[in-house]
Amino acid sequence: MVKSLTPKTLPEALEFRKHQRLIPLAGGTDLMVRKRSWAGTLPKFEYPALFIGGLAELKGINVKDGILTIGAAATLASILEHPAVPDIVKQAISIMASPAIRNAGTLAGNICNASPAADTLPPLYVLGTVLILQSTAAQRELPIAEFIKGPGQTNLQTDELLVAVQIPIQSYDVSFYKKVAARKADALSKVSFAGLAKVSGDMVTDLRMAIGAVAPRVVRSKEAEQLLKGRKIRDLAGLIPELKKIYDPLIRPIDDQRSDAVYRSQVAHRLIEYYIMQCASATAHAK
């Protein structure tokens, strides 16, 4: 039997978290699978589940002062339909799982699951996403790259809840997302890639990229991005070899049931090259 608590308000949920060890549960689409019993019996939870999926305070999606705030209980389906959500996030969600899963699953849950192969993480990394963590005592903000420590590991304290995901709203000249999997939909990533770029005239003013499923955490290199910022568009292709050298020690994939390390590494390097060429092509056309 799975023991659970169902608070009616966010303050009540935080009080529950303060006084006992609980496992937060919103949609449960990752958590219920991870805790399932192969014998066909009920899932096994180390601690009682705290169901927060019904909290009205956590379901909202709104924009204020250039910041998009997505509540922790907002479903993937509702996020997909909201006009203010960046296209790169919508691209990731649209090919993620099945419609039934998207109707129940949440962005916050995908983040807290902290899988290296999570579809939404690379876009969230390049967008500069900040997470709002709350307890009865305080509220704090943490960049997503600092929140995730490793596979299944986060910096969420035992008395805290992830209550909101905040994304700065900006415009980009290039928005690129690619997921490599066994099929086009309802499949786990072998490799995923997200990239954003801004251009002014013939100059790259901002360029970001993040790669998923090739290391214990999403790979993003500030050194590589700094190499490309301030460069002329025509010079981008010539920097690809140097770029790959920077990423070589960072790309450390594993062999698993979905793919092998060699394939993942090769695909990651090809996606870096393809993205840079896309930036050069798209921005050159825009001139």
Distance between CA 215 and CA 250 in Å, rounded? Answer: 7
DSSP letters along 219-285, please?
B--HHHHHHHTT-BGGGTGGGHHHHHHHHTTT------SS--HHHHHHHHHHHHHHHHHHHHHHHHH
Helix, strand, coil % over all residues of the chain, rounded to 5: 35, 25, 40
CATH 3.40.630.10 fits 174-286, yes or no: no
Identify the pLDDT of residue 287.
46
% of the chain with per-residue pLDDT over 90: 83
What's the gap between Cα 91 and its chain centre?
A: 12
What's the gap between Cα 134 and its chain centre?
A: 20
How far CA 245 is from CA of 157, 230, 233, in Å, comes to 37, 20, 20
Identify the pLDDT of residue 283.
54
Lowest mean pLDDT among 41-45, 96-100, 113-117, 184-188: 184-188
Identify the pLDDT of residue 1.
58
Domain boundaries, the chain: 4-168, 174-286
Residue 35: pLDDT band with limits 50, 70, 90 = confident
Q: Is the pLDDT of residue 286 over 60?
A: no
Distance between CA 236 and CA 57 in Å, rounded? Answer: 45
> What are the tens digits of pLDDT across the range 37-74?
666 777 778 899 999 999 999 999 999 999 999 999 99
> What are the tens digits of pLDDT across the range 4-19?
999 999 999 999 999 9
- Domains 4-168 and 174-286 alike in fold: no
Q: What is the mean pLDDT of the chain?
A: 93
Tell me the whole-structure pTM to 2 decimals. 0.94
Q: Which residues contact 144 (CB under 8 A, 6 or more apart)?
A: 111, 121, 124, 125, 129, 130, 131
Distance between CA 51 and CA 32 in Å, rounded? Answer: 12
Angle among Cα 116, 75, 208 to the nearest 5 degrees reads 45
Nearest to 194 by CA among 284, 124, 96, 250: 124
Mean pLDDT of 148-153: 97
Indicate the class that CATH gives domain 4-168.
alpha beta
